[in-house]
Structure 1
Amino acid sequence: MPSRNDGPALLKRRSAKPFAGNLRLRRLTKAYLEPLDDNNKEMSPTVAKIDQIYDLTQELIVQCQSVTSGLFPRYSKDRDVGYVKDSIYCAMACWACSVAYKRLDDDRGRQTELRQTAVKTMRGILFSWMQQSKNLDAFKSQNSSEFALHARFDLSSGMGLETPNDDLHYGHLQMDLVALYLLTLVQMISAGCKVIYTHHEVNFIQNLVFYIERTYRTPDFGMWERGTRYNNGKPELHASSLGSF
């Protein structure tokens, strides 16, 4: 029988010969236990360039998006009014950056983040316009600027503005705006984005097509929202609206 003095030597011999199963387990779990150090990896020039664009997108665009409505203001300091046209341009920028990340092997979740930011904006515009379905139906038959779909909404709620003048003096009649929304919507859906969810939304999009189909030659306020070149608030026929169809 081994004596007490042989105890440390016996433990040393046992530790020097670990079981084969323990070695295999250590090799399998080593990759999961060691932290991943991304800083030591050298990024390619393409990835570095896309990351730079991502940082600019986050700093200049995404942080200005309304959390509730998904709309964007015209100016970063504006916290009351969300503009449809500016929101579409911001959605296109976020979506384009997400397409760039889609071509990378490791997008670090940024593709989904940017894509859903664009989807939220497009659905926010759709929600705001669907609140004015009656105006859309009336405009198709009367072609009056009184029933035109609004070009700006409350930034927080996405509803029509409740200003002292009831927002009546603003040039909402912008046919190129609706056409730009439809064009962007088609491109995003063709690329795999899920923007339209219900059959009611499909019907409303079809009515938007009828909206510009019957009235695209109607004198409007154009893409600069000024009306005539004299800036006197009177609508005229703009090349941007003619080309939108």
Structure 2
Amino acid sequence: MAPAGLGRYLVWLTRAVSLLLALSAGRAPALPEVCKYCPGPAHDTSEVGHYCNRTQELKLQARCCLTQQGTIVGLDLQNCSLKELDPLFAEAHSAIVLDLQANPLLNISTSVFRNFTELQTLVLPLKVDCPGGYYAWDNVTCGTDSCTCRGQRSQCNSTVEPALCPDNAYCVPDGPGLFQCLCTSGFHGYKCLREGSFPLLMFSGILGTTTFCISILLWGTQLRKIKAS
């Protein structure tokens, strides 16, 4: 390519890259589906609204309080006629404040809040218990229509049962009243009893070979059925 042609090509390439970067920077993050789970906006007077309005970098959008990057830090699902919380609720695992009052919810399983490690304020209908029980929170207060659970406690700091995890493992919070045990470096397997790193390469090879063999077997079976028909 001639020097002049090369120069024009480089100029065009630079402009194209700049345009793509500008478009990427200006594109707003997609709104999580759970934010649109219930019609209407978040209530300014709710715990979520109060929390969001206190910080300039946060914004209320649909039923969520979001960071500039689109991370959910607050979710207001009050008065949404909810009888249960479906798997879509897990999208809000990064929430610090949740408002679920004024819903016909029955007692909610603690497992629904698995991975909600950042949760610090949870407003619930009056007859619904705080997930994990009273010991999972610093403070539980109830009014005429709702109960508020504040200050999620780490179960890993529990003095009731200090030996939560087996030897060669350590405790990690996993939501209100929940924890998980992770193996320390150099151990893996059931109760972290196996020493050494997990043989990922060998495991992947065996899994891939098995999958390939099963696929060939199924393909051959289907091919014989087609020929026989």
TM-score by length of 2: 0.25
Between the two structures, name the one with larger relative contact order (CA 8 Å, sep ≥ 6): 1
Normalized per residue, which structure has more helix?
1
TM-score by length of 1: 0.24
Normalized per residue, which structure has more strand?
2
